[in-house]
Amino acid sequence: MTAVLELAGVSRIYGEGATQVRALVDIDLTVDEGEMVAIMGPSGSGKSTLLTIAGTLDEASEGTVTIDGTDVAGLSRNARAQLRRRSIGYVFQDFNLLAGLTAAENVALPLELDGVGIRAARVAARDALEPLGLAERAGRYPDELSGGERQRVAIARAVVGQRRLLLADEPTGALDSVSGEDVMRLLRRACERGVAGVVVTHDAQLAAWADRVVFLRDGRMVDQTARPAGPESLLTPGARP
Amino acid sequence: MSVRHALLALLSEGPKYGLRLRQEFEARTGEMWPLNVGQVYTTLQRLERDGLVESEGGESEGPQKGFRITGEGRRELAGWLRSPAEVGSPPRDELVIKVLVALIVPGTDVREVIQAHRRSLVEAMQRYTHLKASAPDDDVALALVADAELFRLEGIVRWLDTADARLARFPQPAAAVLPAGIHASDGDTEPEAHPELEGRR
């Protein structure tokens, strides 16, 4: 297994002295290629801070963040922005699609911003939309799509090109439970195709889609689940929980 | 789970042999409730005694004996489908008692106890989710059974989350008193609805 994301001794401290807030404390977390990890915890537990640091949108006060073997602290501002564009995809609760662009244009945008030619970017966008069942909807604008479809476009945008790390913050929060399940199924498949996924949530049903669930409390990792046994363990009465 | 009414439901589609009833019961419940063949025949005998099914095939016994539903059986089935399901909480919820007891046992971090339960519940939820994820999309019976378990387990996790948040806000002194009506070592007191709450009223 190749580690895509490695946090070692990561802390994030805001302010100083009496007003100091330790949002994250001494986090050690490795996410491998093909693995989906859920970070579960209540509001204020540091989940979003962790995701922001993993996505290089914020810097750790202590510790090291390594993405695909590169220590991000050693990167210039520009190199870090390039890493974000090329290697990291984000999925947010409220989709964050640009209303004036079609589904395909939204998906192609990060590649175009990175200097990929329009034609090649469009081909990559189609390739990303197709496995999400959106090939037919590629020319539609976000307001012509359902909530579930918009989130699928956002997933396509997050994995388009050669992305290595997929970060999702409450990705099904705005969806009903069956559409939310579709989104989680697709995130899982995206991870199985070789991306490392981190999903932040307070929702146990969402977290249960992950290979591993890490529990955060007051900025600290307090626990994590074992890798689940195969589903066949449910089929014998004695093994049922 | 009422095996009796499940068998009536399967017979409402047409006459069937006992062995086939068992196979269909397991298939239609997403194979989550294994049933032994003895259970099927005992239940069929009782249904016949009560006039809800009739056997056919004369003298033959065992797997070759067929059954059909009666008019009375159809009325019973229709009534059962619409009667309220038992949703009352068990007289004593073991997890609630463990958390209450953890509050008073010296040297116990109740939030750590809560986390241990949360982890094992989420692990169980992962198993059901992976079962659902690995099943064909059109296996609706399995998805319905897995969903029911997932929502039930999620409800317990949410209770733990709320308990955790309350304890963060109002940390309990180590020597808190066990509410009246709770006896940690006593498993068979009278079946009141919520004995653990009696002392609070």
- Kindly report, residue by residue over A144-153, the tens digit of the pLDDT: 999 889 989 9
Which DSSP category does A144 fall into? G
The helix (H) or strand (E) run that includes residue B198 is: helix B195-198
What ipTM does the predicted assembly reach? Answer: 0.83
A226 touches B: beta carbon within 8 Å: yes
Distance of alpha carbon B133 from alpha carbon A207, whole angstroms? 14
Residue A187 has a CB neighbour count (10 Å cut-off) of: 26
Q: Residue A10 is part of which domain span?
A: 3-98+148-228
Mutation site for A-interface testing, chosen from B129, B142, B152, B169 by largest number of A Cβ within 10 Å = B129
Distance of alpha carbon B153 from alpha carbon B189, whole angstroms? 26
B119 touches A: beta carbon within 8 Å: yes
Distance of alpha carbon A142 from alpha carbon B200, whole angstroms? 53
**According to the model, what pLDDT value does residue B179 have?**
53
Indicate whether A119 belongs to any domain: no
Q: What percent helix, strand, coil does chain B show, rounded to 5?
A: 60, 5, 35
| Counted domains in chain A | 1
Which DSSP category does B88 fall into? P
**According to the model, what pLDDT value does residue B25 have?**
86
Across the interface, whether the CB atoms of A208 and B122 are under 8 A apart is answered: yes
B121 touches A: beta carbon within 8 Å: yes
Indicate whether A236 belongs to any domain: no
B15 φ/ψ sector (left φ>0, alpha ψ -120 to 50, else beta): beta
Nearest residue, CB atoms, B122 vs list A222, A225, A235: A225
CA angle at residue B152 from B94 to B169, to 5 degrees?
65
Across the interface, whether the CB atoms of B128 and A222 are under 8 A apart is answered: no
Q: Which residues contact A154 (CB under 8 A, 6 or more apart)?
A: A91, A92, A95, A96, A97, A171
Across the interface, whether the CB atoms of A204 and B121 are under 8 A apart is answered: yes
CATH of the domain at A25: 3.40.50.300
The helix (H) or strand (E) run that includes residue B17 is: strand B16-17
**According to the model, what pLDDT value does residue B91 have?**
65
**According to the model, what pLDDT value does residue A236 have?**
44
Across the interface, whether the CB atoms of A204 and B32 are under 8 A apart is answered: no
Q: What is the mean pLDDT of chain B?
A: 81
Indicate whether A17 belongs to any domain: yes
Across the interface, whether the CB atoms of B120 and A207 are under 8 A apart is answered: no
Which of chain A's residues have a Cβ under 8 Å away from the Cβ of B153?
A: 204, 241
Q: In the beta sheet, which residues pair with residue A213? A: A38
- B200 pLDDT more than 70: no
Nearest residue, CB atoms, B165 vs list A42, A225, A233: A42
Q: Taking the CA of residue B191 as centre, how many other CA atoms within 13 Å lie in the half-sphere pointing to its CB?
A: 4
**According to the model, what pLDDT value does residue A94 have?**
82
**According to the model, what pLDDT value does residue B60 have?**
59
Which DSSP category does A233 fall into? G
B120 touches A: beta carbon within 8 Å: yes
Q: Which of A129, A4, A125 is nearest to A67 (CA)?
A: A4
Low-confidence ranges of chain A (pLDDT < 70): 227-241
Residue B147: closest CA among chain A residues belongs to which residue?
A: A205
CA B47 to chain centre: 23
Please give, rounded to a whole number of angstroms, the shortest distance from the CA of B145 to a CA of chain A. 12
- Residue A197 in contact with residue A35, Cβ under 8 Å? yes
- Residue A210 Cα distances to A194, A200, B181, angstroms: 14, 11, 41
**What would the mean pLDDT of B79-85 be, rounded to a whole number?**
85
Q: What is the mean pLDDT of chain A?
A: 89
CA angle at residue B188 from B185 to B194, to 5 degrees?
95
Indicate whether A30 belongs to any domain: yes
- Residue A215 Cα distances to A23, A126, A200, B146, B186, angstroms: 15, 36, 10, 23, 33
- Show the beta-strand stretches assigned E in chain A: 3-14, 21-32, 36-40, 62-67, 70-71, 88-92, 165-169, 196-201, 212-217, 220-224
Which of chain A's residues have a Cβ under 8 Å away from the Cβ of B164?
A: 42, 217
More confident of the two residues B143 and B190: B143
Distance of alpha carbon A125 from alpha carbon A104, whole angstroms? 6
**According to the model, what pLDDT value does residue B198 have?**
41
Indicate whether A131 belongs to any domain: no
Across the interface, whether the CB atoms of B119 and A185 are under 8 A apart is answered: no
Nearest residue, CB atoms, A205 vs list B127, B150, B161: B150
**According to the model, what pLDDT value does residue B172 have?**
73
Tens of pLDDT, residues A40-56: 999 889 999 999 999 99
Give me the sheet containing B16-17, strands edge to edge.
Answer: B16-17, B66-69, B53-56
Indicate whether A105 belongs to any domain: no
A178 touches B: beta carbon within 8 Å: no
In this structure, what token pair is assigned to residue B67?
């059954």
DSSP A177-207: HHHHHHHHHHHHHHHHTT-EEEEEES-HHHH
Which of chain A's residues have a Cβ under 8 Å away from the Cβ of B130?
A: 228, 230-231
Distance of alpha carbon B8 from alpha carbon A60, whole angstroms? 63
Indicate whether A122 belongs to any domain: no
Please name each of the domains of chain B with its CATH number.
3-82 (1.10.10.10), 94-198 (no CATH)
In this structure, what token pair is assigned to residue A155?
């997933």
Distance of alpha carbon A127 from alpha carbon A134, whole angstroms? 10
Across the interface, whether the CB atoms of A230 and B124 are under 8 A apart is answered: no
Indicate whether A179 belongs to any domain: yes
Packed helices B18-28 and B3-11: angle between N→C axes, nearest 10 degrees: 110
| Cα Rg, chain B, nearest whole Å | 23
